[in-house]
Amino acid sequence: MAASPYLLLLLLLVHPAAAPASSALPPSQPPPPRPPQKVQVWPKPVTVSWPTAVYAPLAPSFSIRASPSHPSLRHAIAYYSRLIRSERYAPIVPPANYTLSRVPIRLLALSVADPVVPLGPGVDESYTLSVPPNTGSADISSATIWGAIRGLETFSQLSWAGGGPDSGGQPIVPCDIEISDHPLFTHRGILLDTARNYYPVRDILRTIRAMAFNKLNVFHWHITDSQSFPLVLPSVPNLANFGSYSPAMRYTDQDVRRVVRFAEAFGIRVIPEIDMPGHTGSWAGAYPEIVTCADKFWAPAAKPALAAEPGTGQLNPLNPKTYRVAQDVLRDLAALFPDPYLHGGADEVNTACWEDDPVVRRFLADGGSHDRLLELFVNATRPFLVHELNRTVVYWEDVLLGPKVSVGQTVLPRDTTVLQTWNNGAENTKRIVAAGYRAIVSSASYYYLDCGHGGWVGNDSRYDVQDKEREGTPLFNDPGGTGGSWCAPFKTWQRIYDYDILHGLTEDEATRVLGGEVALWSEQSDAVVLDARLWPRAAAAAETLWSGNKGANGRKRYANATARLNEWRYRMVARGIRAEPIQPLWCPLHPRMCHLSE
């Protein structure tokens, strides 16, 4: 009977430590050369110096102290103190040929230059970490508490269950190590769509915790869409009463504040998105008079589609009540979410849906245009966000680059507008930053985690055809086809890791790219599959956005990243994140044997 891979893993975890190297060598015999030492930290730090291959055990009395303190830092210290003391993770193949110091680490001291800098766009997250030899202490220095929190995560990953009896059963950490680290991009995020399918708060909190493990710092909460409006807002409670799937599938103000506080404690911003004027069919239950084409079949025969997918409805820019309701929504949203950024959506506006309304048809017949309709909406909502609510507005790129509906640049002042790209890869990113706008990159070709899971609309006759009917027709259900996924193929971690969000940009244009977000749209995802959909693919993006995807030689470090990400995936699982595997367990147990070439 073949041994189970999980039995092998269990044996490794129970007996984790390779024996420390012996120092009893004949005086005339030089010590054998040590192999290069690897530091298992994800994302990879910018610079690491560890010349000695010496580990030190943590003392049973190990503690973390900070001067000065801060509520978020106190939370982080308490959390990481518990994690470091209790976590007993051992690498799949533990390091060998190391020396164990006799001086245990009793203290990790945090020094923060300015502890009152608030969490926000562009905040300094740099830190340095050092474990001087034979001092019994380690140090993290940072400009802000947010950098200190990143340093605590790094220290927690340096710690592992090794050393055998000589460590007294305590975790060990590299000694005589120096790390200097900072992010390549200041905006490193995950978008989670909670409208197509609902996610309980506990699953959102677990996702935020996993983001902190990976040094991601923005949770983009796409809360509402045409399918549901799960957010309870005090000024317009009927939006959730009539727009959510059920009373059990709503987010109260207490839920939202819990998420925001939890995220801030890990140095993670929460940016809310209420998509409008498109994607608002869920508003029609409470306010049918302000929504056009609501509850219509999305793809009527021989007519233009009313929406990009099932779930029709758009806000009517010609109804004055639209703006009273929209302002109530935005005012309540700003009260719940303190971040300086607020996402206003503005993607996939459908002209046929607007034309379903007779007032809109008269407007167009009298010389109006679809672009003018969108401009009316933006001009009525954007100044309110900027001047009344003091927010920078994030829109999807469509507001400026939409193929059918868009507004001119004069409508979108650059100092208070950020545009999020998702179409045409590097091309649209370049168009946005070349026009002088700041950009967040979420290319569907690389960063959409929902892609490649097939279609989800029913009664689709294209599935009846196994092979291409004739040359030149699009691939669909045949081998190599999309299978119904509009953005196929599946975005592998390798594809995500390989992506350079600055590709094709000039040095000046690159300065306007704030960073990127991987996106999990939830037509085919819910809490049951959440972790596996996100991880470890989001971790691949996290490293490229933190320290890039190239080594010191300028070459992409994909081969090196494979083994490191595999190891990191096992550690995330040990931390309660149900990340999907990227290789058989046999591969890390047989280093280099799973390479394509030697």
Contacts of range 33-41, beta carbons closer than 8 Å, 24 or more positions apart: 34/97, 35/97, 37/95, 37/98, 37/174, 38/95, 39/158, 39/174, 39/177, 39/179, 40/91, 40/157, 40/158, 40/160, 40/564, 40/567, 40/568, 40/571, 41/154, 41/157, 41/158, 41/179
Cα torsion through 562, 564, 567, 571, rounded to 10 = -130
| Rg of the chain (C-alpha set) | 26
Beta bridge partners of 279: none
| Closest to 133 measured CA to CA, from 73, 56, 31 | 56
Distance CA 95, CA 228 (A): 50
In whole angstroms, give the CA distance from residue 522 to residue 527. 10
| Residue 18 buriedness (CB in 10 A; 0-12 / 13-18 / 19+) | middle
Residue with tokens 């079949």: 297
- 348 among known catalytic residues: yes
Taking alpha carbons only, the member of 277, 466, 409, 411 closest to residue 353 is 277
Strand partners, 65: 109
In the 8-state DSSP scheme, what is residue 160?
B
**Three-state secondary structure string covering 481-535:** CCCCCCCCCCCCHHHHHHCCCCCCCCHHHHCCEEEEEEEECCCCCCCCCHHHHHC
**For helices 145-158 and 71-86, angle between their N-to-C axes, nearest 10 degrees:** 0
At 483, list the tokens.
């299978």
Q: In whole angstroms, give the CA distance from residue 551 to residue 291.
A: 52
What is the amino acid identity at position 36? P
- C-alpha span between 313 and 80 (Å, rounded): 46
Among the listed residues 87, 178, 348, 580, the single catalytic one is 348
The token pair that represents 72 in the structure block: 């978020």
Answer for the pair 188, 546: CB distance below 8 angstroms, yes or no.
Answer: yes
H or E stretch covering 547:
helix 537-547
Q: 548: how many CB neighbours lie within 10 A of its CB?
A: 17
Burial state string for 106-141 with b = 16 or more CB within 10 A and e = fewer than 16: eebebebeebebebebebbbbbbbbbeeeeeebbbb
List of residues 6+ apart from 241 with CB closer than 8 A: 285, 286
For the chain, the residue count is 598
Which residues form the catalytic set? 348
